[in-house]
A and B are shown apart, each in its own frame.
Chain A
């Protein structure tokens, strides 16, 4: 059983942003391997590349507000044996520069890590223009690309170090807001290996989530448990390649699925899971995510409620999918 943070359900659970975990992971990856280099497009502080940039100033390139150049320069550096981490906000990279990523990184199979920070609604007050809700869809369709969306700062640190070791293009999705620590130092992280966080006997449904939604899903699962409804919870941090074996196993036992993501329902984690289940085991399925809309200003918590990503929305989706499974 994977260890969950013992303080998970306390009001004073530790909070830290994913990008802080990334900053630490990048520094450690840089200490371990001198070929790790970092590039940034005028967002060094907020993407948390700054510690690496200070420690390894000769291995850091500031390209200015130019995200197309950011990723293609990174591609060129990888051609000379470097392991570039190209960091920006997800809305700009892979948003602005998608075709540059496709051609110079994925088509070349270049060993570049694209770091998309500030993904999702939790960007909050900046508003819909900056709330990237389409990045998983954009990156998962690219051949050679690995797509990782970790659930907390600890997992992000581990993911950052793991993608430095992986040879090939990777997209790593980060969030701006502080968020609860869900996992522990001991929790294993392996690219492409989903973590089953909760798996009760006789679960009636399984909730598959990624990113900051994992914490909300665990809150929803506890609420459901109090109502006598048992659910399994999977932290599916790697969107691509999908851990088909783990997901098929847990779905086979529960017979109903809810996916949860801070992303458009179209093209994201839910779509990935649906594509698998449709051909192997088409059980009833519900999708919690943003339904074909743009975000707006507000606090992260307000927006999650507004767009149907709240704990109660997850609870309702689970009840609905169980009802469908039972044929009523």
Chain B
């Protein structure tokens, strides 16, 4: 798993395309979660276009890595990435949140079996990912060739049930379980450290027996290196605390908790798309 300069450029292009889709689908849906979806575009791109073992032609391939999205509200980034990877037609993204769509406001397997779990209510994904890893261990023991990724928000670490799962994984030590926390410091009511402080976050996970890594969630080298290190740890699960900027890629949205749960208007969306094309205004024209 080596990140060459070419591969990095490729991932940057993919992340840009994913962000473009996110803006377009949210504008069309007129509701949804903007900040978290944009903030996780780099990590989703690194996973689906470099790290994950998966095959868009065989979505039910038994040996695929499993990706559990615990904070289901950022599903626009999941749907956009799945479309970019070829699991969905891109035009289907425009049905997000609409009646009859497979792209429910929060992921639902009954509508879209491509997603590993239905999600939305917070604090449940890690439990499911732990269950998957433990089930796989019954069948394959240490010979398992699969990895189980759980993508979580920082806000949902305030759910008590999350820590029940953290504790069980600390006890059972599934080495192929990798949790990735979107540490963007915002939640609906404001900044996490104002609403309900999470720090010292790394110490908390360490105390529960996890291998803890902290990275810049927009830096592909760091994303790659952290996953590589997580895979080399054989006696514990790993959590990657990925520091991200909510709304990343669109200056007006960046770092603002107000964008947690709303969609851009058509005007705001057009402005945002232009900003993506011109790299934040650094190019003089499209």
Given contacts A69-B164, A99-B121, contact A104 B132 (CB under 8 A): no
Q: Is the CB of B165 within 8 A of A108?
A: no
Given contacts A99-B121, A103-B118, contact A79 B131 (CB under 8 A): yes
- Give the size category of A's interface with B: 20 to 34
Asked whether B52 is an interface residue with its Cβ less than 8 Å from the other chain, the reply is: no
Given contacts A77-B131, A79-B131, contact A107 B165 (CB under 8 A): no
Given contacts A37-B135, A80-B136, contact A66 B168 (CB under 8 A): yes
Asked whether A308 is an interface residue with its Cβ less than 8 Å from the other chain, the reply is: no
> Shortest Cβ distance from A289 into chain B, in angstroms?
31
> Shortest Cβ distance from B151 into chain A, in angstroms?
14
Asked whether A73 is an interface residue with its Cβ less than 8 Å from the other chain, the reply is: yes
Asked whether B129 is an interface residue with its Cβ less than 8 Å from the other chain, the reply is: yes
Q: Is the CB of A58 within 8 A of B138?
A: yes
Q: Is the CB of B117 within 8 A of A73?
A: no
Closest to B121 in A: A103
- A76's contact among B123, B132, B160, B167, by CB below 8 Å, is which? B132
> Shortest Cβ distance from B268 into chain A, in angstroms?
32
Q: Which of B162-218 contact A (CB under 8 A)?
A: 164-165, 167-168, 171-172
Cα–Cα distance between A75 and B120 once the two chains are bound (Å)? 15
- B135's contact among A77, A107, A108, by CB below 8 Å, is which? A77
Asked whether B24 is an interface residue with its Cβ less than 8 Å from the other chain, the reply is: no
Q: Is the CB of A76 within 8 A of B128?
A: yes
- B164's contact among A66, A76, A78, by CB below 8 Å, is which? A66
Q: Is the CB of B127 within 8 A of A68?
A: yes
- Give the size category of B's interface with A: 20 to 34
Q: Is the CB of A109 within 8 A of B135?
A: no
Q: Which of A2-36 contact B (CB under 8 A)?
A: none
Q: Is the CB of A73 within 8 A of B121?
A: no
Q: Which of B45-93 contact A (CB under 8 A)?
A: 66, 68
Flag B127-153 by CB within 8 Å of A: 1 or 0 each: 111111111101100000000000000
Closest to B109 in A: A108
Cα–Cα distance between A100 and B135 once the two chains are bound (Å)? 19
Cα–Cα distance between A75 and B124 once the two chains are bound (Å)? 10
Residues of chain A contacted by B167 (CB below 8 angstroms): 64, 66, 69
Given contacts A72-B165, A73-B168, A107-B108, contact A80 B132 (CB under 8 A): yes
Q: Is the CB of A73 within 8 A of B131?
A: yes
Q: Which of A78-100 contact B (CB under 8 A)?
A: 78-82, 84, 99-100
* Chain A contact surface mostly: helix
Q: Is the CB of A74 within 8 A of B131?
A: yes
- A80's contact among B109, B110, B135, B168, by CB below 8 Å, is which? B135
Q: Is the CB of A108 within 8 A of B127?
A: no
Residues of chain A contacted by B168 (CB below 8 angstroms): 61, 63-64, 66, 69, 73
> Shortest Cβ distance from A34 into chain B, in angstroms?
9
Asked whether B116 is an interface residue with its Cβ less than 8 Å from the other chain, the reply is: yes
Asked whether B119 is an interface residue with its Cβ less than 8 Å from the other chain, the reply is: yes
Closest to A71 in B: B127
Q: Is the CB of B118 within 8 A of A108?
A: yes
> Shortest Cβ distance from A83 into chain B, in angstroms?
10
Cα–Cα distance between A61 and B134 once the two chains are bound (Å)? 9
Given contacts A100-B161, A108-B118, contact A72 B110 (CB under 8 A): no
Closest to B108 in A: A107
Asked whether A59 is an interface residue with its Cβ less than 8 Å from the other chain, the reply is: yes
Cα–Cα distance between A179 and B129 once the two chains are bound (Å)? 40
Cα–Cα distance between A29 and B151 once the two chains are bound (Å)? 35
Residues of chain B contacted by A63 (CB below 8 angstroms): 164, 168
Cα–Cα distance between A108 and B117 once the two chains are bound (Å)? 7
> Shortest Cβ distance from B42 into chain A, in angstroms?
27
- B119's contact among A58, A99, A103, by CB below 8 Å, is which? A103
- A73's contact among B123, B134, B160, by CB below 8 Å, is which? B134
> Shortest Cβ distance from A230 into chain B, in angstroms?
48
* Interface CB pairs A-B, < 8 A, 17: A61-B134, A64-B168, A66-B167, A68-B161, A69-B127, A69-B165, A69-B167, A72-B124, A72-B131, A76-B117, A76-B132, A76-B135, A79-B66, A79-B135, A103-B119, A103-B120, A109-B109
New contact pairs (18) apart from A72-B128, A78-B131, CB-CB < 8 Å: A64-B171, A66-B161, A68-B164, A69-B168, A73-B127, A73-B128, A75-B131, A76-B128, A76-B129, A76-B134, A76-B135, A77-B132, A77-B135, A82-B138, A100-B161, A103-B119, A104-B124, A108-B117
